Homo-oligomer: A and B are copies of this chain.
Amino acid sequence: MAKIRTKHGRFLEEFRPGDVYRHKRGKTITEGLFAVFTDFVFTTNPLAKNRRYAQAYGFRDLVAPPGLVMNVVFSQSVEDVSENGRANLEYIDMRFGVPVCVGDTIEAESHVLGVKASSRERDRGVVHVQTTGWNQHGEFVLGYQRKVQVWKGDLDARVAEGEVPARDVVVELSLPAYDKGRGYAHLAHLTSDDTYFENFRAGDVFEHYRGRVVTTDHIMLTGMLDNTSQVHCNQWMIDEEPERFLGGKLIVYGGIPFSLCLGLSSPDVADNALADVRYVTGRHTAPVFAGDTVFATTEVRGVRDLPARPDLGIVDTILRGHKFVRKDDAAERVEIFYLEREIAVKRRGHYA
């Protein structure tokens, strides 16, 4: 009789630079996943809310907000890359391609670009991957790199340190063409009138108005994304060895505050966006736990034209998330998330 202690997810010593993982499963974005994940984050852009609006703009159907696209691709990589991860360190050069609509099926793969053992801690190291996702027509919807800190399984195992160059995957924003005949102005009341491209100035800092507590619903949300990482859902494992885990509690999967910060910023900076274009870099700067209320701010770093699309402009921003932690009798503001974010925003002159 063979006793098989199954294991899923790789440890540090199992990664090799140059390896390719074709991720399993794939994921159809049902109306169930779409609704639950889009709406809990307070996204306000009608592309993700109102089918009449989305189709009038030339999209096939309701458009997945960027946080959902990111999460659906990212989660497919968890089993191969980070199920045994300790912390996600950095998102790098995340680019959005063709729009993702409700009903699309997304599949993904990752390339190992680098592996490095920690010089200070024997039990961990950093894996650098490049992940790409595409839809049922084979069109790229997302591409990015990330660095993740991964546990070693066997402290004495040899680590295949090294680096390989990133693959040249062209993920390019693709949007329905501007067409005056669509009558955009008749839909203009469905979005804010102060969030067109013309409204933004370099140096503006938006303290977004709303906050939203994260409850234990994060466990179900993470499960719905097929993210199986145990630090988000295995309470027993945490309770047995709390000192091994960040905060000694179930940690909220980073894709939740990532999406939540995007959503909280939405009414002020993305209500009239047609897409997020690129995240130059991003990272989780502190963990989030159930019970934390998440807030966000956006700093506008610049505005610029979008080549070949006179109807749109790019707003370069930094999106930051924060929470408050009570210490003694004072409330300390703790940054939890940092994202350099480029948004393609409608020009009032063309749409309102």
Chain B residues within an 8 Å CB radius of A52: 26, 28, 105, 107, 136
Assess whether A220 is in contact with B31, with CB atoms less than 8 Å apart.
Answer: no
11 contacts between A and B (CB under 8 A): A5-B209, A7-B209, A25-B49, A26-B53, A30-B31, A30-B32, A35-B36, A36-B36, A36-B224, A211-B233, A237-B293
Q: Which of A147-155, A165-173, A184-192, A306-314 contacts B (4 or more CB under 8 A)?
A: A184-192
User: Are A46 and B62 in touch, CB under 8 angstroms?
Assistant: no
The size bracket of the interface on A is 35 or more
Q: Say if the beta carbon of A122 comes within 8 Å of chain B.
A: no
Copies in the complex: 3
Known: A28-B50, A32-B31. A237 touches B223 (CB 8 A): no
Q: A159 an interface residue at 8 Å Cβ cutoff?
A: no
User: Does A44 belong to the interface (CB within 8 Å)?
Assistant: yes
Q: Is A51 an interface residue (CB 8 A)?
A: yes
The 6 closest A-B pairs by CB, nearest first: A32-B35, A26-B50, A236-B293, A1-B203, A213-B235, A30-B31
Complex interface bits, A5-29 against B, C-beta within 8 A gives 1, otherwise 0: 1111000000000000010111110
The distance in angstroms between the C-alpha atoms of A220 and B204, with both chains bound, is 31
- Contact between chains at A236 and B211 (CB < 8 Å): yes
- What residue in chain B is nearest A27 (Cβ atoms)? B49
